[in-house]
Structure 1
Amino acid sequence: MTVGPLPRLAALLAGALLLALALPVLLPQAPARAAGTGATAKATPGTAAPGATATILGTGWPVNTPVTVLLCGQNAVNGTDSCANATGRALTTSAGGGFAVQLAVVKPPQPCPCVIHATTVTGANVTVDTPFPVIGVASVPIKQTPGTMLPLTASISGGGSLMTWFGAPPHRTFKAMIANVGNSAITDPVFRMGTSHSVYSTDWQEYQWSGVIAPGGRQEIDVPLDFAAGAHGGYSVELDYGGTELTVQQVRLPQPWGVTLFWLLLCVVVPVGLFRTGLAVVDRVRPDPDPAPAPFLGRARRRAAPGAAPGREYDTLALPPMPAHPPRAVPLAPTLPWFAPGSGPVLPKADDGPAPADPLVRTAQARTPGSSTLLDKGIDA
């Protein structure tokens, strides 16, 4: 039996169609590599239907680093929102930078093209997307969207120094972990950093970060912060990109007490210096009536003369005080015993011994010679 040309053509077309469907399974897929790194992730088998299990082998990853492995649709351009997070696996790389994990194949939240999305959790950002067609899941062209930033974490680091204690401009660093949730890369983005204090208007500064944030990737951005001299108190710091606010952080700057101390010292030292300068000027300008006074005399003073008209004065010298002299002894006049009984000196008898040492007694004896004999006679009589 001969076969016509039409059935033969139909058989050839059916064979070509079956070969095109089986080609992704028959040909081994090359493992995907992360840009700029040696990390790889290979899926075995290269395609599977939902309900199957695939083995993911990784090499060249950072050692002892946590890694997440997910099955995602739309090439994971929208981040983990397009991934089957419930069946994802978390692991830690070995000392050689490799890993092996079994991943369940399910229908992702978004249509294919599908990939195995492996990325580090901490440390250096390493991400590898391995193509993995899921049998039975439709493939839809990826809708091109511009790169969109999503802040993950944000903080302000840095501290003051001795110079900021005296009013120097404080410096801080704004650290933010940014994720690109779009499907287009962001190259050399320009950020705006706004700082506001109390009721004052926001002061904006522009900062251009050099680098590329891949779709679905994340990157830590370090933006330097420069405050005005003498800035202190609470400040609000806002990070913007493309007119959209990414995150707002609060920071409190210490009080520059050195400036306060300086003004306090200035308020004390300047008046004291002016006062001493004025005294020196007055002392130099004031006339001296006695240009060369005696070293033992005091300064000449002007006193008003008794009975002089007001304003008429004369010069006097303040003499040093005279030294005190001891009082001089005044001899008492002798008193005769018969005029003042009991008040005069008692004269010794002839046999009482030597003459008394009292000068008054000796004087009385010299002036009344023989009085003692007469006195003795009168007494004996």
Structure 2
Amino acid sequence: MHVWEENRMDLKIMGQKELQKEVKDAYFCTGCGACVNLCPYQASYKDQIVMLHSCDLKEGGCYAFCPRTPTDLETLKKRLFDPRDLMPEIGAVKGFYLARSAAPEIRAKAQHGGTATTLITLALQEGIIDTAILTDEGENLLPEGAAVQDPAGIKKRGKSKFVVSPNIAEFNRIAKEGGKKIGAVVTPCQALALAKMRAKPLKTYADRIDQLKLVIGLFCGWALSWKNLTALLRKKIELAEIEGMDIPPSKYHILKLFTKKGTIDVSLDEVTSAVRGACWYCPDLTAEFSDLSVGSARLPEGWEEAKGWNQVIVRTAQGEQLLDLAKKKGLLEFREVPEGNLAKLKTASLGKKKTALKNLKIRSRDPKNLYFLDPEDPVLGPLSSGA
């Protein structure tokens, strides 16, 4: 019996053996780290999750929390968000804004407007959290999760990395210690892993997820394979020369490398071959399972102006309170959202969902077999029939 023929409110939890077969061997693993630091049997190595030892548990947290095992997304959304706020294209929306850090020094070190850096720093300063799970630079463009308790440490980690960092593994490590108030800046797949933890399917880990107080999600079209990306870039420059990267809007069709010797433009035709395979099956552009979601802005003045601003989706009361506090304290600047921006974001988000569904159907050759996605989901089901 296919898993989706069972009760959707109580999807069966399985163990490491099934995780290996359904996710790792099927090349659906996102490298999020949700299965790491729950036990000694999984580890993250060079942006890959590796199974160190076999485990005979019938029901494991590794399977329960993985964003690529079957999930009743609709029920999960209704548990975590106000159903009145749910939009089929982008999830819960309490508010949609254009914002940026009011501090030029933060904007200078951030990827775009510095909004995520400002918000997670404020949460730490106000005692909403005492530990922030962020992405560290690592070596040779290989990022790693970092637990930060000093606001100054947050400001050093504001740049996008484009290669997946196993941040949920770091969350698991810190939460295991207990007694923390944790905030995390994560990608869409990582936000979903944390949401699955919040549903508390296994009592063993319930006290750990209670320490999670804030999730800031980042818009994400895809992540890059570290092995493939570095192989590509080594043909163009020494990795040690690279100081940062950015991807402008799609019409530019380039990856920008900021190096000690100047800027290098790399065609996305080359970069596409380095995209992590699992990302082609991801239906979430805007990190729908977050308290707030932050991404680069789009403005009529063009990219030079837009890259200094962020689009922000407020999804929960917690996120709303934090954004209001940042505004009250003058830490964020806001500007009017251009007409049509939200509609364009919805269209882009739907496009990613349709691409994921199309690719899953190509793999399975069965429109009713979408692997970890539910063909009867009220959002994805209708899209699947037309994908």
TM-score, length-scaled by structure 2: 0.19
Bigger share in strand = 1
Greater per-residue helix proportion:
2
Q: TM-score, normalised by structure 1?
A: 0.19
